Structure 1
Amino acid sequence: MPLSNRCVTDRVMWLYNRNGMYLVKSGYHVATQVLRTTEWVECSSGLGRLEVWLKLWNLNVPNKIKVFAWRACQNILQTRVNLARRKIIEDDLCALCKCAPENGIHVLWECGVARGIWAGSLVKLQKFTQGQGGVLQLFTELLQRLSTEEFESTIKRKTRWDQYRTFNISRSDHYKLNFNAAIYTDLGSSGVGAIIRNGRGEVMAALSAKGPFVQDSEEAETLACRKALEFAIDVGISDLIIEGDNVSVMRAVASNFMDGSRLGNVLEDIHCLMSGLRWCSVSCVKRSANTVAHCLARFARNVSEELVWIEDSPQPAKEALYNDSLIFS
């Protein structure tokens, strides 16, 4: 169990709940798991969706694109509407057009900026109407009107647009801190990567450092978040947009509730550090929008002491920074 950097008292926690708090619901769940003799596997295929799922999983596109499309149809993308529903952010308004809540169908299809992206696509898509109830309905209509090859091209374009959108949600008047972690089981340690950039994408500071041995990725990411915040404060940054790619960790960081889990002490450290900032915001991003921090975390395998770059691009992440610059531009 990772320890706090502050003096805190011991406490009892419930091992079968993520936040360490006992609930009758979680106790009932554990009891039913013990008594259950037959495993039931939930399937997303209903009678109306079976055809969509069959065609989707048989597409000749990378698996990550199929998973993204499935998540879009299930309405479980990290849109601002879904993040606001989970109390991670407060404002669900689209950051690009400022005209409507940012749900899946809006950000991928109905947003004016998205329509500008589609303007360079197939003529059939340019003439396609709006007003669908969700991404699943949109996909169903696309499958009816487009050939398999045309639909595959459409899916790929959707994924590129979502990556573009993720990079452009930050406020230009604040600094953005991206962090990531890596686990080195053979070395008995972990790695931490962090980068701070301004609204123009220019590097203000970067860090690559080794961390302690961890049990799982959630512990590694939580410790990396604390380390990255300490680094940002050390270099004098007080206005931060904090971005990570682990949904569970970022939800816990954004939460105001006391966490009684084994990572609760570290999360309280993080909240204490955040309270000392002049302004901060927490956001969960996709791995594709966090590649620079990922590169720095992986590079930590080769370092014995912390490596710090101040107003200089870190060499281990040059390629990732270049790819980011293309998206920013």
Structure 2
Amino acid sequence: MFQNQHSASIGVILRDCKGKVLMSVSKREHEVNNAIRIKMLAILRGLQLSAHLGIHHLIVESDSLILVQELQESEPSMSMVGNVIKDTKKLKNCFQSCEVRHVGRICNEAAHRLARFAWNVNDISLWWESFPNVIAQVLWNERHL
């Protein structure tokens, strides 16, 4: 989050079933000043990008256990990001299958670094079948360790 600019950023990585990066994204979000809201927007933006690509089966990973639990609930959310959760649940239904999983922060390091990289982005930077150097070491570590 960039408090002095009233904005925050997200990082999204789309991988195939073998872990190969298909797309990576750094995006700045404006008028966001809450960590839970920005994590929820990251999930929503990832789903939006995936839906436009015609992907039918998706596994979403987030390091926010609270949001993962909210997205797994069938009841409407009463949280302060309830409207974004509602929109995200609706979008999840557009996929043949869309599972939401909790992962530890260490497993989400590449997305976290992409989010920090968005400091250099006006709106959105997208890499198709590629990624910026800022996550190259993390991806190498994931493959070899």
What band does the TM-score fall into relative to the shorter chain?
over 0.9
* Equivalent residue number for residue 209 of structure 1: 27
Paired with 1:266 and 1:227, the residues of 2 have a C-alpha distance of: 11
One of 274, 280, 302 as aligned partner of 2:120: 302
Q: Does 1:272 align with 2:64?
A: no
Tell me what 1:226 maps to.
44
1:254 aligns with: 72
Compute the displacement of 1:213 (Å). Answer: 2.7
What corresponds to 2:53 in structure 1?
235
- In structure 2, the residue matched to 1:319 is 137
Instruction: Report the Cα offset of residue 234 of structure 1.
Output: 1.9
**Equivalent residue number for residue 191 of structure 1:** 9
CA distance in 1, matches of 2:132, 2:33: 29
Cα deviation per residue 1:62-112 (whole Å; 9 max; x = unaligned)?
Answer: xxxxxxxxxxxxxxxxxxxxxxxxxxxxxxxxxxxxxxxxxxxxxxxxxxx
Cα distance in 2 between the residues matched to 1:297 and 1:273? 22
CA shift, 1:282, in A, is 0.9
Distance in 2 of aligned mates of 1:290 and 1:262: 24
1:1-329 correspondence to structure 2 within 5 Å? 183-327=1-145
Displacement after TM superposition at 1:294 (Å): 0.6
Cα pair 2:40 2:85 within 8 Å, conserved: yes
The aligned amino acid for 1:217 is: A
2: CA distance, partners of 1:236 / 1:299:
27
Q: Deviations over 1:187-230 (max 9, x none)?
A: 21000100011122111111111012323211111111111111
Q: Report the Cα offset of residue 307 of structure 1.
A: 0.8
3-state SS in 2 of match to 1:231? helix
| Residues 281-328 of structure 1 deviation map (CA, whole Å, 9 limit, x = unaligned) | 11000011011101101101110131111112332211111111114x
CA–CA distance in 2 between the matches of 1:253 and 1:212?
23
Q: For 1:247 and 1:280, locate their aligned partners in 2 and report how far apart those are by CA, in whole Å.
A: 17
% identical aligned pairs: 29
Q: How many residues align?
A: 145
Task: Go from structure 1 to structure 2 and tell me whether the alpha carbon gap of 1:263 and 1:233 turns closer, same or farther (over 3 Å shift).
Answer: same
Q: Supply the distance in 1 between the matched residues of 2:51 and 2:31 (Cα, whole angstroms).
A: 24
- Identify which of structures 1 and 2 has the higher relative contact order when contacts are C-alpha pairs closer than 8 Å and 6+ apart: 2
C-alpha distance in structure 1 between counterparts of 2:132 and 2:106, whole Å? 18
Bigger radius of gyration: 1
Distance 1:296 1:305 in 2: 13
The root-mean-square deviation of aligned C-alpha atoms, in Å, is 1.3
Q: Secondary structure at the match of 1:223?
A: helix
| TM-score for both structures, normalised by structure 1 | 0.43
- Name stretches of at least 5 consecutive residues in structure 1 with no aligned partner: 1-182
Letter in 1 for 2:38: A
- Give 1:268 shift: 0.7
State the SS of the aligned residue for 2:75.
coil
Instruction: Work out whether residues 29 and 123 of structure 2, in 8 Å CA contact, stay in contact via their aligned partners in 1.
Output: no
Query: 1: CA distance between counterparts of 2:33 and 2:7?
Result: 10
Gaps of at least 5 residues in structure 2 are none
Question: How high is the TM-score relative to the length of structure 2?
Answer: 0.93
Q: Distance in 2 between matches of 1:305 and 1:213?
A: 13
